[in-house]
Amino acid sequence: MEMIKNVLVGLWEASGINALFAGGVFQWRNLVMILVACVLLYFAIAKKCEPLLLVPIAFGILLANLPGAGLMDDPTGLMDTSNVVAGAHWYETGVLRLIYAGVKSSVFPCLIFLGVGAMTDFGPLLSNPVSLLLGAAAQLGIYVAFIIAILMGFTPQEAASIAIIGGADGPTAIFVASKLAAELLGPIAIAAYSYMALIPFIQPPIMKLLTTEKERKVEMKQLRKVSKTEKIVFPVVVLLICAFILPSVAPLLGMLMLGNLFRECGVVERLSDTAQNALMNIVTIMLGLTVGATANGQNFLQIKTLMIVALGLLAFCFSTAGGVLLGKLLYVITKGKVNPLIGAAGVSAVPMAARVAQTEGRKYNPTNFLLMHAMGPNVAGVIGSAVAAGFLLAMFK
Partner 1 sequence: MLFTSEYSMKMGIGEALLTAVIGIATVLMILAIIALLIMLVSKIIRSIEAKTAKLADTGAPASPTAAPPAAVPLPDTESQGELVLENVDEPTAAVIMAIVSNKSGIPLNRLCFKSIKLLEDDKK
In terms of CB distance, is 131 or 290 closer to partner 1? 131
Name the CA dihedral angle for 46, 49, 55, 59, rounded to a multiple of 10 degrees.
Answer: -80
Give the one residue of 54, 142, 287, 371 binding partner 1; rule: CB under 8 A.
Answer: 142
DSSP annotation of 189: H
Name the CA dihedral angle for 164, 181, 172, 281, rounded to a multiple of 10 degrees.
Answer: -140
Specify the stretch interacting with partner 1 by CB under 8 A; choose among 71-79, 184-192, 273-281, 389-397: 389-397
- The site map against partner 1 for 205-244 (x = CB under 8 A) is ----------------xx---xx-xx--xx--xx--xx--
Cα distances (angstroms) measured from residue 36 to each of 29, 72, 207, 325 = 10, 18, 31, 37
Residue of 28, 181, 64 whose CA lies nearest to 189: 181
- Residue 306: which residues within 8 A CB-CB, separation 6 or more? none
316 binds partner 1 (CB under 8 A): no
The count of other CB atoms within 10 Å of the CB of residue 276 is: 20
Name the CA dihedral angle for 89, 94, 96, 98, rounded to a multiple of 10 degrees.
Answer: 0
279 binds partner 1 (CB under 8 A): no
Specify the stretch interacting with partner 1 by CB under 8 A; choose among 11-19, 190-198, 294-302, 386-394: 386-394
In terms of CB distance, is 214 or 228 closer to partner 1? 228
DSSP annotation of 9: H
Give the one residue of 96, 144, 188, 295 binding partner 1; rule: CB under 8 A.
Answer: 144
261 binds partner 1 (CB under 8 A): no
In terms of CB distance, is 117 or 292 closer to partner 1? 117
Q: What angle do CA 329, 334, 338 make, to 5 degrees?
A: 70
Give the one residue of 165, 301, 314, 383 binding partner 1; rule: CB under 8 A.
Answer: 383
155 binds partner 1 (CB under 8 A): yes
Binding site for partner 1 (CB under 8 A): 125-126, 129-130, 132-133, 135-137, 139-140, 142-144, 146-147, 150-151, 155-157, 159, 221-222, 226-227, 229-230, 233-234, 237-238, 241-242, 245-246, 380, 383-384, 387-388, 391-392, 394-397
